[in-house]
Chains A and B, each alone.
Chain A
Amino acid sequence: MTATATPVATLGDVSVVFGRHGKQVVALDRISMQLRGDEVVSLVGPSGCGKSTSLRVIAGLAEPTGGTVQVNVDRKTRALGGLSMMFQSPSLLDWRTVLGNVMLPLEQRRIGRAEARERAEHLLERVGLADFRHRRPYELSGGMQQRTAVARALVTEPEVLLLDEPFGALDAITRDQMCVLLEGLVEERSMSVLLVTHSMSEAIMLSDRILVMSGRPGRVLEELSVPLGRPREIGNRLDDSARELEARMLTLLALR
């Protein structure tokens, strides 16, 4: 997968200040970044540095108080594509089956029932949940719930996938499994991914570029490119080049 030069999302000097009156919290202070077509970018930084806020601004969930936001996805003319997002919690609907949850985004886009079902079942098979499609979310383990959320995010064939610490609530082994699964899924598709994470190994495993951010108010300290080819395996994060990269990130983050 080679990144194309056209940016799909651009933040230009974006600031976000929370709280109108009295105490104001500066979540983002003139931050700039670009997400190009077909590339995977990670935002890594300490808690409260504004990584998630940056993601939410691109998603349209947070209003910037200054600067410019450009998202070039076709949301109107095509039924599929556009923007998808995964949250830290699986955010599944207990009143729907696993299959029903994955079909929800397609129903919202007025895709016919038969086609929606076919697409959803295909993706559930890909994430290893075909046999669980008629279960309810609360009958599944945390990892399986997050797989369902992955399928729901990808079922619309998004051009941009936003991941807000998607595996933060999972145990280490499940997290590695999810990482491998996601790497494969991203590799198979033509989409841009912006990942917010605390985990350096996750960032290295998945990204083409890593933006290391400073503490509040968040700024981009350094942009690192990941010198690993694709497809990747979980063992690749022990490669010399990956270890050097992790050491560099540790230094950047520990100094703050």
Chain B
Amino acid sequence: MSETTVVELVPDEVSQSPRPLGSRVAAALLHLLIRTAITVAVIVVIVLLWWAIVEVFNLPATELPPPGSVLSDLHDKWSIIWAQATPTIIESVAGYAISAALGVPLGYVISRPGPIARSLNTGAVALQIFPKIAVAPLFLVWFGFGYAPRILFIVLMSFFPIALNAAAGFASMPLDLQDLGSILGMGPWARIRHLQGPWALPQIFTGLKIAASFAVIAALVSEFSGGTQGLGVLIVQLEANLDISLMFAAIVVVTVLGFAFYGVVSVLEMIAIPWHVSRRRK
């Protein structure tokens, strides 16, 4: 008679429990801090270059204002900028949230086989190719001067990368995992929750990050095409008044908003996907 052989396996370090959410959030924030430091360093270099160009070519403030004057405008006239930044932020966040809420489920439907998925895919591509900027002024005619036409414009600009990436993520699940779902008797909801959803998350976040970088720009473009409030409106007015220094201050705020948007989505990604391939040790 033989004894049952069990090959003893000893872990290389003391076995840890899965890290709790709190420590995951802390790790994500630390990571963000480091990245922010790098970003600040890059910004400092850009500002120095900017200052050097103004000095060397002796440019007048109406062509390229020196960083110092933009900075002091940013400080002195903050209330003017902030009053116009608020509607831009509201539009971007609302439009982006709707894009995400529509784009991910749409991506799932597109990833399914069959004629409905294919026609939806064609529709989404057509909507993406269609030159929305050209008809943006018409949105004001159709939906008035409130938030509706701008939010709609942002949704149209940013839902496509979300839907397309989500579809690619859902569709790329390996056959073995699909078979596993069948063997375990999973219905469509259980499959989405336990298999396809987590599998697609890295790709879904890729789409969400691309769209995050679009959302603020889309808000600005929709404001350029007409309207009464927002940073886009302010920038157009300041350019007409040749207040280039304050205009640059507004552009700086737009840039910071875009970075912040992208940063928030990146932090959410790190919290949601601790198993991401890019974050594995070794």
Contacts and interface: CB of A to CB of B under 8 A. Distances in A.
Given A61-B183, A127-B6, A135-B15, 19 more contacts: A61-B179, A91-B176, A93-B195, A93-B198, A97-B18, A104-B184, A105-B184, A108-B185, A108-B186, A109-B185, A126-B6, A132-B9, A132-B15, A134-B15, A134-B18, A135-B11, A180-B5, A181-B7, A184-B4
A84 interface: yes
B194 interface: yes
11 contacts: A61-B182, A87-B179, A91-B176, A108-B190, A126-B6, A131-B9, A131-B10, A132-B15, A231-B1, A231-B2, A233-B2
B275 interface: yes
Contacts of B10: 131
5 A-B pairs with the lowest CB-CB distances in the bound complex, closest first? A95-B198, A91-B176, A184-B4, A94-B275, A87-B176
Contacts of A232: 2
Contacts of B6: 126-128, 181
Given A128-B6, A184-B5, A89 B174 contact: yes
A222 B184 CA distance: 33
A138 B183 contact: no
B8 interface: yes
Nearest to A188: B4
Contacts of A94: 275
B180 interface: yes
Interface in B161-219: 174, 176-177, 179-180, 182-186, 190, 194-195, 198, 201
Given A89-B174, A91-B174, A94-B275, A131 B11 contact: yes
Contacts, number: 81
B176 A89 contact: yes
Interface residues of B, number: 32
B58 interface: no
B114 to A, nearest CB: 16
A111 to B, nearest CB: 13
Contacts of B184: 104-105, 108
A59 interface: yes
A181 B195 CA distance: 28
Nearest to B178: A61
A40 interface: no
A181 B179 contact: no
B17 interface: yes
A243 to B, nearest CB: 20
A117 interface: no
A83 B183 contact: yes
B198 to A, nearest CB: 4
A6 interface: no
A88 B177 CA distance: 11
A61 B278 CA distance: 34
Interface residues of A, number: 39
A126 B5 CA distance: 10
A189 to B, nearest CB: 13
Contacts of A60: 182
Contacts of A59: 179, 182-183
A104 B193 CA distance: 12
Interface of A: 59-61, 75, 83-85, 87-89, 91, 93-95, 97, 104-105, 108-109, 126-129, 131-136, 138-139, 144, 177, 180-181, 184, 231-233
Nearest to A108: B184
Most A CB contacts (10 A, CB to CB) among B177, B184, B198 go to: B184
B180 A91 contact: yes
Contacts of A91: 174, 176-177, 179-180
Contact of B275 (A138, A184, A233): A138
A20 to B, nearest CB: 14
Nearest to A60: B182
Contact of B16 (A93, A129, A134, A233): A134
Interface string B1-38: 11011111111000111100000000000000000000
A128 B198 contact: no
Contacts of B8: 128
Contacts of B183: 59, 61, 83-85
A128 B15 contact: no
Contacts of B4: 184, 231
A177 B180 contact: no
A209 to B, nearest CB: 22
B52 to A, nearest CB: 48
Contacts of A126: 6
A174 to B, nearest CB: 9
A147 to B, nearest CB: 8
B221 to A, nearest CB: 37
B15 A87 contact: no
Contacts of B7: 128, 177, 181
Contacts of A61: 179, 182-183
